[in-house]
Amino acid sequence: MNDRIPTREEQDGDGEVRYRMLYESEDKVYIRHIRGFYTRIRKYTGLPLLALFFFIPWLNIEGRQAVHFDLPARQFHIFWTTFGPQDGFLLAWLLIIAAFALFAVTTWLGRVWCGFTCPQTVWTLMFIWAERICEGDRNKRMKLDAGPWNAEKILRKGGTHAIWIFISLATALAFVGYFYGIRDLVVDLAGFQAHPQGVFWVGFFTFATYMNAGFLREQVCKYMCPYARFQSVMYDRDTLTVHYDARRGETRGPRKKGIDYRAEGLGDCIDCYWCVQVCPVDIDIRDGLQYECINCGLCVDACNSVMDKMEYPRGLIRYTSEDELETGKTQLLRPRLFGYALVLLLMIGLFVQQVVTRSPIEAEVLRDRGARLFRESQGLIQNVYTVKINNMDQAPHEFTIRVEGKVGYDYTLRMPRDIYLKAGEIFAVPIRVSIAKEQLKDAKHDIYIVVQAVDKPELVDKHQTVFIGPKR
């Protein structure tokens, strides 16, 4: 264990007693810049995703923001669909799917989510890129931090923090824009007339991004992140994670290029420490698999570039499994992974089916909670219902209501003249269903209330309820 928090001691005033401090700052991690296969994967998957994140709020459909989570109106516009609070179960499904996807991927590839797509890692690496642009690579940064404050240091550090704040602000604006409406947000902020809550959240997310990606960084993964805590449970012997091939690498040691090092009893590892210097969570992968490792592959790229220089075969540090290191073969098809994948596919299928068959109109029927079950008037038996119509479509509609009941019964329906609901409106319509007393033969029978849009007949919802009459 070489990555423990260093302990500091301090002396009492008279030097009698020495004290050990129980709270210590971690050493700052300085990452050496490295290029390679896995870095490229991260770049070419991450940049489009980032571009999407920043660009999506600016998309407009039919004069409104395409993706807009309108909290005050409780409407969640996602492109051509609008979801409401009653679609919460869909969100729950989505989150469960995401959880199972994490389980399946973690079982198969270890913590690749953490290493490649987690915003914590992505933003941290963006911030480190800013450091490199302004202050240079690892050694230069360490020198600069250790050195005295002078004009150059102020300029370089200032540049770093300017870029950090710019990225943080852009992130906060984009994020809040999903909720506030990005065009309004930018215009309101520029005109100093934004809603105080909007201003607060932009400030909050700017600050949080700046502190998090600028200073907390890998400590979030080590101490705070709940997923990091339980992802290790999903690892098994065949999980593909970053391993150092100790059998090939040991005994490590420096050597000249081109000599027969085996004869000197050395392994392939030249002990150059590059794999440690590039590591964003500051571990030495050669100590074996550790809980901090986020499977980001930076040490793989670093080691491969060194192996290339030495003209040794690649893969001294590589994505492999414990099983392969011991037996030479990874067992990919295993019950656990198969089970996760099956459940995941099943749930994705169900989710898609739910979303596709979701009707943008919903009707609830409540029997009138009056003093009596039915009303008798002018030789008619009357039942009163309240039909709560929720128009979740993105256009206003006029609706009609009709009753479908028992064959042979002549129902009379009384309802308001025009039932017109704006997009996203919910309205409760009282209706009265009557049957002639001599016609009614049942004390109780099922009827269906059908709500349908006049101009769009496919918007229809049918609800079962009960018609109650006098005892026979």
Whole-angstrom distance, CA of residue 216 vs CA of residue 204? 16
Nearer to another protein, 66 or 460 (CB): 460
Nearer to another protein, 156 or 217 (CB): 217
Residues in the chain: 472
Nearer to another protein, 4 or 472 (CB): 4
Work out how close the CB of 153 gets to another protein at its nearest, in angstroms, rounded to a whole number. Answer: 23
Nearer to another protein, 86 or 377 (CB): 377
Whole-angstrom distance, CA of residue 419 vs CA of residue 401? 9
The rounded Cα 356 to chain-centroid distance in angstroms is: 22
Nearer to another protein, 146 or 407 (CB): 407
Work out how close the CB of 218 gets to another protein at its nearest, in angstroms, rounded to a whole number. Answer: 11
Work out how close the CB of 457 gets to another protein at its nearest, in angstroms, rounded to a whole number. Answer: 17
Half-sphere exposure of 318 (CA within 13 A, CB side): 14
DSSP-assigned states of every residue in 97-113: HHHHHHHHHHHHHSSHI
Count of beta carbons in the 10 Å neighbourhood of residue 124: 22
Nearer to another protein, 248 or 432 (CB): 432
Work out how close the CB of 29 gets to another protein at its nearest, in angstroms, rounded to a whole number. Answer: 13
b/e 399-422 (16+ beta carbons within 10 angstroms → b)? bebebebeeebebeeebeeebebe
Nearer to another protein, 205 or 374 (CB): 374
Work out how close the CB of 219 gets to another protein at its nearest, in angstroms, rounded to a whole number. Answer: 6
Nearer to another protein, 359 or 412 (CB): 412
Work out how close the CB of 281 gets to another protein at its nearest, in angstroms, rounded to a whole number. Answer: 14
DSSP-assigned states of every residue in 294-343: ----HHHHHHHHHHHHHTPPS-SEEEE-HHHHHHS------HHHHHHHHH
Radius of gyration of the chain (CA): 33
For 64, residues 6+ apart whose C-beta sits below 8 A from its C-beta are 77
Whole-angstrom distance, CA of residue 127 vs CA of residue 57? 23
Whole-angstrom distance, CA of residue 298 vs CA of residue 138? 14
Work out how close the CB of 466 gets to another protein at its nearest, in angstroms, rounded to a whole number. Answer: 16
User: Interface with another protein by CB under 8 A: which residues?
Assistant: 1, 4-5, 7, 9-10, 17-26, 216, 219, 223, 368, 370-372, 375, 377-378, 382, 384-386, 402-403, 410-418, 420, 427-432
Work out how close the CB of 316 gets to another protein at its nearest, in angstroms, rounded to a whole number. Answer: 29
